[in-house]
Chains A and B, each alone.
Chain A
């Protein structure tokens, strides 16, 4: 089954404790992206990757890091999480053609206390 898998689905943690949200896709997609969703703001792009070892900032990259060492994986790293990073996070992937819709993971709810 074609899918984008995020882990964990839920996480409650404390300020400053490094965390990683994993994202993996099994569709051999070149493009992967991370979004955060906040009430009243819709989804905003954090980082994206066009292919292995190629990453770039989206609209709200501050406080986040990513890596793309393998085509299937695109982890999101919060080195020193803060309460304003409490949000719902989505990973998405698509083939590198603009006419193809992005496939989304099921989301990760992060709460930073």
Chain B
């Protein structure tokens, strides 16, 4: 089965510091899409950032950026200037089979400490 692996079940960071969450995936496809979703304690699934595999430029959204390494099948999320509101579960996901189907990693629980 084609999988998405998040190797860090839990992480913590001090407020205002930078943290990087890792994600690797397995795929034989040449074009696909990658996403990071945030799930705060409220349980909502909130899109953080997305990356199109055929684009070499790394996506950025304000304090959030990715390091996309297509050859290595790696898609890490960097959060700069961490805020208390960033405390959440973070899920990495990719599309599969040229469709809208999402395959998710198991998540990384991030805690931002004051």
Task: Flag whether A74 is at the interface (Cβ < 8 A).
Answer: no
Residue from the set A44, A48, A98, A104 with the largest chain B CB neighbour count within 10 Å? A98
Give the contact-size bracket for chain B: 20 to 34
B residues in contact with A99, CB < 8 Å: 33, 50, 52
Can you list, as one digit per residue, whether each of B60-97 has a CB less than 8 Å from chain A (1) or not (0)? 00000000000000000000000000000001010100
User: Given contacts A42-B105, A43-B91, is CB(A98)–CB(B45) below 8 Å?
Assistant: no
Place the interface of chain A in its size category: 20 to 34
**Is B43 in contact with A107, judged by CB distance below 8 angstroms?**
yes
Complex partner residue of B104 from A40, A44, A88, A97, CB under 8 angstroms: A44
Interface, chain B (partner A; CB < 8 A): 4, 32-33, 35, 37, 42-45, 47, 50, 52, 91, 93, 95, 98-107
27 cross-chain CB contacts under 8 A: A31-B100, A33-B100, A35-B104, A40-B106, A42-B91, A42-B104, A42-B106, A43-B93, A43-B102, A43-B104, A45-B101, A48-B100, A58-B101, A88-B43, A90-B45, A92-B45, A92-B102, A96-B100, A98-B95, A98-B99, A100-B100, A101-B47, A102-B102, A106-B42, A106-B43, A107-B43, A107-B44
